[in-house]
Structures are given as structure tokens and as C-alpha cells.
Structure 1
């Protein structure tokens, strides 16, 4: 499973790179603070909404601490997607939050 640190994600965004960030936390967690520009797909709905994703684009999975996003990363990898897990999740995030 590919991994990326919260710091690497933050630096890429600050340099103007367009990243496809998928936040797999629950609605209330996302509403209490999330990285601007995320795609919100709760983990429990991922298999039903993966048709919305493009297998030709890379994705970075985000959750609170990295556990659920790790599960999401493994699942999407098994379906042929190019995905990385943001290690440490939002607990490690020091960038902008909406």
C-alpha cells in the first residue's frame, strides 16, 4: 500500500498541485473540519460510490488517524485504483482546515 505523509500532501497543495483527496470520515467529522477541496465519501459508502472515481487518476485517502483511510486504500487498490493513504490522517494535518 502506498503512503504519503500529511506534510507531503500539505506541501503539494501549497505548491498548487491538484490532488484528489477523498475523506472517508463520517459527516459530522468532516463538518467539524476538513482539508479544502476534498471529495467526501464515508467509508461505508465507498464500494457503492467508487463508480464516481476515475481509475486513470491518483487519489489520496484521508481519515482521522489513518486507519479507515488505510482500509479504503486497500479496497480501492484491489479494484484497480491508484491510491495512497495519508499517514496520520487529520490528527497529523497542520495545513488549512475548512
Structure 2
């Protein structure tokens, strides 16, 4: 499984590269802020919403600390998706929030 830190994600975003971020935290967690370009799909909703994802794209998966996102990455990888886990999650993010 591919991995990166929140700092590496921020660096990639600052280059202007298009990054497809999925935030898998719960509603009450994202209420405190989300990375601006991220889409919110709760971990428990991933199986029923996989059809919304494009297997031709790489998705960066983030949660609070990197544990749930790792599980989601393993699940999506097993279904043929290209994913990368943010190993330190939102705890490591020091960029802009919306």
C-alpha cells in the first residue's frame, strides 16, 4: 500500500497537482474542518459508495490518525482501486481547513 504523511500531501497540493482526497471520518469529526478539496465519505459508507469512484484515478485516503484510512485503503485496493494512505491523518495536517 502506498503511504504519505500529511506534510507530503500538503507539498503535493501546493504544486498545483490535482489530488483526489477522500476523508473517511465521521460527520462530527469533519464538522471541525476538512481539507478544502476533500470529499467526505464515512468509512462505513465506502462499500455502498465505491461506484462513485473512478478506478483510473489515485485516491488519497485520510482519517483522524491514519488507522481507519489504512483499513479503507486495504479494502479499496482489494477491489482494484489505486489508493494512498495518509499515515498521520488529520492529526498531522497543518494546512487550510474548510
Structure 1 position 33, deviation (Å): 1.0
Separation in 2 of the partners of 1:42 and 1:18?
A: 22
Query: Using the alignment, how far apart are the partners of 2:7 and 2:92 within structure 1?
Result: 8
| Superposition deviation, residue 95 in structure 1 | 1.0
Q: CA deviation at 1:37?
A: 1.2
Structure 1, 1-10 or 49-58: larger mean CA deviation: 1-10
Give the TM-score normalised by the residue count of structure 2.
0.97
- The alpha-carbon deviation at position 14 of structure 1 amounts to 1.1
Runs of 4+ aligned residues of structure 1 deviating over 3 Å after TM superposition are none
- Give me the whole-angstrom Cα distance separating, in 1, the residues matched to 2:28 and 2:17: 28
Correspondence 1:62 to 2:62: yes
Gaps of 5+ in 2: none
TM-score (normalizing by structure 1): 0.97
| Aligned equivalent of 2:97 | 97
Cα RMSD for the two superposed structures: 0.6
How much has 1:2 moved relative to structure 2? 1.0
What SS is found at the alignment partner of 1:22?
strand
**Between Structure 1 and Structure 2, how many residues are aligned?**
98
Residue 62 of structure 1: CA displacement? 0.4
* Aligned twin of 2:74: 74
Q: Distance in 2 between matches of 1:8 and 1:44?
A: 26
